[in-house]
Amino acid sequence: MSKMDCTPDLKIAERRAVVLVSGGMDSAVTLALAKERGFIPYALSIDYQQRHRAELDAARNNALGLGAVQHKCVPVDLRSLGGSALTQDDMAVPTEPSSGIPITYVPARNTIMLSIALGWAEVLGATDLFTGVNAVDFSGYPDCRPAFVAAFQALANVATKAGVEGAGLRIHAPLIAMSKADIVLEGLRLGIDFATTVSCYQADALGRACGVCDACRLRSAGFVQAGVVDPTRYF
């Protein structure tokens, strides 16, 4: 074999991954981890007509700042389905802890977002998907648990051309077993500026947080537990 035949295997050299990014802290850390693990990240946000739209701007800026080669935002109108305080203007975002699955739960949201990520992964030839779901300091949503991630991976491998004809698809949820404090420390190690991430369910147009919703309370407790100054901008 001559030297001329030794073309590099681009499929190995270019391990593409689709990373779901929301603009929040968890998905920023997830994207940075995907890059650290050698993947070329393609960032995907879903505009589901959420009330906290500032997160979509944060998602784009953070994704590109953290090294995504592309950021795509796909609109899907979940507001038209109703049933969640995150998409219904006539349902208030709770400011106190609740028991059970809270009304900020958006029916099937993570299933829908991963499904669209799966579609883009097929088009890109990516076999790896990353999601920032977390089952420790979370709000009790069913679609944030390890059983959900495993079931989605099983589905992905029978649902797609890549799963059926190729080497198989993997769903990575690197934060799933981390506490919020762990995520803060991991983010600092990776050089993430959390001041530019937006977690609040009712962030204002400038991306400033309310400090009292579930997402704010979990995030703020994470900084306290990690012993790190909280850089969040509150309104």
Residue nearer to a second copy on the CB measure, 147 or 206: 147
| Binds a second copy (CB under 8 A): choice among 165, 167, 191, 229 | 165
Per-residue binding string, a second copy, 120-159, x by CB under 8 A, is xxxx------------------xx-x-xx--xx-xxx-xx
The 10 Å Cβ neighbour count of residue 106 is 21
Residue 233, CA distances (Å) to 95, 99, 197 in order: 18, 28, 10
Residue nearer to a second copy on the CB measure, 201 or 223: 201
Q: How many residues form the binding site for a second copy (CB under 8 A)?
A: 45
CA 2 distance to own-chain centroid: 45
| Binds a second copy (CB under 8 A): choice among 61, 95, 111, 196 | 111
- The three-class DSSP label of residue 140 is coil
| Binds a second copy (CB under 8 A): choice among 15, 61, 95, 116 | 116
- Assign 3-class secondary structure to 165-219: HCCCCEEECCCCCCCHHHHHHHHHHCCCCHHHCCCCCCCCCCCCECCCCHHHHHH
**Site for a second copy contains 168 (CB under 8 A):** no
Per-residue binding string, a second copy, 63-102, x by CB under 8 A, is ---------x-xxxxx-xxxx----------------xx-
Residue nearer to a second copy on the CB measure, 108 or 228: 108
Rounded Cα distance, 31 and 216, in Å: 21
Identify which range of 163-171, 195-203, 204-212, 226-234 contacts a second copy by CB under 8 A: 163-171
- Do β-strands 170-172 and 40-47 pair in parallel, antiparallel, or remain unpaired? unpaired
> Which of 48, 63, 38, 198 minimizes the C-alpha distance to 111?
48
Cβ atoms of 60 and 95 closer than 8 Å:
no
Residues lying near a second copy in the complex (CB under 8 A) are found at 72, 74-78, 80-83, 100-101, 105-112, 115-116, 118-123, 142-143, 145, 147-148, 151-152, 154-156, 158-161, 163-165
